[in-house]
Structure 1
Amino acid sequence: MKKTRLLLAFSVCLLLCSMLPGAEPKEILLWPNGAPGSEGKTGDENLRITEEGDHVVTHVNKPAIIPYLPAADKNTGTAIIVAPGGGHSELWISHEGYSPAKWFQEHGINAFVLKYRLAREANSTYTVDKDEVADIQRAIRLIRSRAKEWNIDTAKIGVMGFSAGGELAALAAMQFSKADPNAKDPIDQEDDRPNFQALIYPGNISRLEVSKNSPPVFIAGGFKDRADISEGVAQLYLKYKQAGIPAELHIYANVGHGFGIRATNQGTYTEWPHQTELWLKDMGFLKSK
């Protein structure tokens, strides 16, 4: 009886430990020796947990990706970088980071949660266009540099972002550079153009531009979101349509901003991850079963 109780206690301990934040996959620094523009910044990263259980990260000086890699027998070879939102002042990394990454991981897609520097945090010296964009571009190049190790197809690496992270993902799809075989850093020898983009209620839509070289896009938002987003996503879709870039748009009637993936979500908008998956299949980035 005593042995049974000890075994039960040990099992409960393992279960509880697996639920702690520390059970998340180990992050990979984008620049192991320090990110350009973060020189001399030694402040610790901060994690705040809301009453609802959301994890909110601030004070990011060491940008990183957190890998969620599917089992080898489920790996589709497709990869997606997930950029949480938070108004460029914080990262709501649970429902707009970990949860979407786990969903894609379970469906055979390699997912990487991006912890990027924050341009609008109090006293920040970072900017969106310089430092945040550099972080997501570096993440794309890093994944391409390790594609063979992770069994990823370098032609099937995309970006996804929520709110401010959606703006960042869209900027990565606007501003990209070719591979530089002469770069000193092997990671910088890779190109940083995403092959596809998924923009979930993206912010600052009015500044987003589309070119003939833009990658195809999946866009989703809520009818009840503020006008610049609920109407802006439709206007953004039209920009892609007019440029001849394949685009798909979903506006869900009964939801506003910030839905992401939560256990409490209810309604048709909860289907957005599955609809993203179907779109990836339609576009040839995933094989149809």
Structure 2
Amino acid sequence: MSAHVIVVPGGGYVQHAEHEAEPVAEWLGGLGLAASVFRYPLNARHPVPLNALRSEIARLRAEGAGTIGLMGFSAGGHLAGLAALAPDRDERTSVQFAVLGYAITSMETETYRPSRLVLLGEDASPELRRATSLDALVTPSAPPFFLWHTAEDPYVLPEHTYRLATALAAHDVPHTTHVYPHGPHSLGLARGAGEAATWTRSAADWIAERAGTA
């Protein structure tokens, strides 16, 4: 059975970036993978988006999907990471791998603050900010991660990817990390974006290994 990949577009938790939605699912389909776009609730406080994504994972599993992966971008990458690392995940809601592009991983830094305000509110406690930071949720049972970012990203600094990669390494969780020297935020498939455009080829090989289609 081929893997099913849920594509989670970015957009700061206030919109869904269309170039990170169906074009990505179509690319995955071209790799022979079942893929769908999940449009989570917008302008909603945590854990509303997370619960919605977990319900979608459970629905696909109930329909027979054995291997489920998540591919999220920016704020969608944050949401995908929350679902992949949720401390109470079980067989119904667990995923087998996650691919995060220029993801917001920390709610403890001041970047990207606008998404934090939407998701957690102005007066979020330090405990809530920590509980929604991906690096704080990593355990040895976390699924494998593929992370990519650009060093020049002015909105979501590459520090976010480094934080998560460091936590994954500390817990011996299999992961791959690519930080490309050039490119803005929100590249999506990054076609024509120089070296960053190679992320899709690297990710395709990585997913094939995780999905058993290599």
TM-score normalised by the chain length of structure 1 = 0.61
In our comparison, the structure showing a higher alpha carbon Rg is 1
Q: Which of residues 28, 53, 59 in structure 2 aligns to 1:104?
A: 28
Q: Secondary structure at the match of 1:229?
A: coil
Please tell me the residue identity of whatever aligns with 1:107. Answer: L
CA contact 1:117–1:135 (8 Å) conserved in 2: yes
Residues 90-169 of structure 1 correspond to what in structure 2 (within 5 A)?
Answer: 90-93=15-18, 95-119=19-43, 126-127=44-45, 129-147=46-64, 152=65, 154=66, 156-169=67-80
Report the CA distance shift for 1:90/1:227 in structure 2 as closer, same or farther (over 3 A): closer
The answer to which structure, 1 or 2, has the higher relative contact order (CA under 8 A, 6+ apart) is 2
Please tell me the residue identity of whatever aligns with 2:27. Answer: W
CA distance, structure 2, for counterparts of residue 213 and residue 280 of structure 1 = 19
CA contact 2:74–2:156 (8 Å) conserved in 1: no
CA contact 2:156–2:185 (8 Å) conserved in 1: no
The CA deviation at 1:287 is 2.5
The CA deviation at 1:83 is 0.5
Residues 1-289 of structure 1 correspond to what in structure 2 (within 5 A)?
Answer: 77-93=2-18, 95-119=19-43, 126-127=44-45, 129-147=46-64, 152=65, 154=66, 156-175=67-86, 176-178=88-90, 191-205=92-106, 206=108, 207-208=133-134, 209=136, 210-226=138-154, 229-261=157-189, 265-282=192-209, 284-288=210-214
The CA deviation at 1:232 is 2.1
Structure 1, gaps ≥5 residues long: 1-75, 120-125, 180-190
Count of aligned pairs between the two proteins: 186
CA distance, structure 1, for counterparts of residue 32 and residue 97 of structure 2 = 17
Q: Secondary structure at the match of 2:89?
A: coil
CA contact 1:202–1:229 (8 Å) conserved in 2: no
TM-score normalised by the chain length of structure 2 = 0.81
Q: Which moved more, 1:221-230 or 1:138-147?
A: 221-230
Structure with greater helix share of residues = 2
Please tell me the residue identity of whatever aligns with 2:85. Answer: M
CA distance, structure 1, for counterparts of residue 212 and residue 183 of structure 2 = 28
What is the alpha-carbon root mean square deviation over aligned residues? Answer: 1.7
The CA deviation at 1:277 is 1.4
Structure 2, gaps ≥5 residues long: 109-132
Q: Secondary structure at the match of 1:90?
A: coil
CA distance, structure 1, for counterparts of residue 212 and residue 90 of structure 2 = 24
The CA deviation at 1:228 is 5.1
Report the CA distance shift for 1:83/1:219 in structure 2 as closer, same or farther (over 3 A): same
